[in-house]
Amino acid sequence: MFKQAKNIDTAFRHVRTFTLIIICSCVLLCAFTLFKSFQMVSKAHNKVFILANGKALEAFGADRRDNIPVEARDHIKTFHQYFYTLDPDDKVISVNITKALYLADGSAKREYDNLKENGYYSNIIAGNISQQIRVDSVVLNMDDYPYHFRCYGTQSIIRATSTVSRSLITEGFLRNVSRSDNNPHGFLIERWATIENRDIKVENR
C-alpha cells in the first residue's frame, strides 16, 4: 500500500514538472510571437508605397537626423535658385523672389530691397536679360547649431549679345523651423551675406 502511494506521489511530481515545462514553453512562445509581431508592425509603419506613372514604388521612413545634411543642402540650393533665377518678366521675378523669401530671414529681404532700389530688376526687364544659377557645392558645418554654410555657385547672365559667367559665394546659418507648404525642409536661412560676386568669363553670342 505504501509502495502504491509512493508511486502515485512520484507520478504526480512528474506530471507537475511536465505541466510546468509546458506552461513555461507556452509563455516563452507567446512572448516571442508578440515581440516579432511588434517588430513587423514597426517595420510596416516605416514603409511607404508611392504610386508613380502607374507603378507602386516602395519607400522607407527614416529618422530626420539621418537626412538633415541632405535636406539642409537642398534647402540652400533651392533658395539660391529661386533668388537668382530671373527672367525679363516682372511676374516671374516676383514669384521667384517670394518663394525665396519664405526660406530666409530679413537678411535676404534687405538684399532684395537693395537690389530693387538700385534698379537691378528694372534693368533686367528693360534689357531683356535672363539670369540663371548653378550651385556647384554647399559646405555645411553640422557640429554647431545654428548650422553654418557656405554656398559656391556660378551665375549666367544672358544678354542679347553676350553671356557673362560670374562666381558667386555666399554664407549664412540655418536654424530649424516648422515645415510648411512654403518651407518643406523646415529650415530658415539667417544672416545671409554675399562674400564674392565677380565676373569670370564673357562669351559673345
Buried b (16+ CB within 10 A) or exposed e, 68-86: beebbbbbbbbbbbbbbbb
pLDDT digits over 31-58, tens only? 888 888 777 766 655 566 666 566 656 6
Amino acid at 118: N
- pTM, 2 dp: 0.71
Q: According to the model, what pLDDT value does residue 11 have?
A: 67
Taken as a whole, the chain contains a residue count of 205
**φ, ψ of residue 171 in degrees (nearest 5):** -145, 165
Mean pLDDT in the chain?
86
- Domain residue extents for the chain: 2-49, 64-204
Q: Across-strand partners of 190?
A: 173
Which residue blocks in the chain are alpha helix, DSSP H? 2-45, 64-84, 90-101, 106-117, 120-126
C-alpha 190/C-alpha 111 separation (Å) is 12
Report the distance separating Cα 35 and Cα 85, nearest Å: 53
SS3 47: strand
- The DSSP 8-state label assigned to residue 161 in this structure reads S
Say which CATH architecture domain 64-204 belongs to. Answer: Roll (3.10)
pLDDT digits (tens, 9 = 90+) for 104-132: 999 999 999 999 999 999 999 999 999 99
**How crowded is residue 188: how many other Cβ atoms within 10 Å of its Cβ?**
21
Q: Does residue 64 have a pLDDT over 80?
A: no
Say how far apart CA 132 and CA 87 lie, in whole Å. 9
Query: Residue 2 — pLDDT band, cuts 50, 70, 90?
Result: very low
Q: Which residue type does 103 have?
A: L
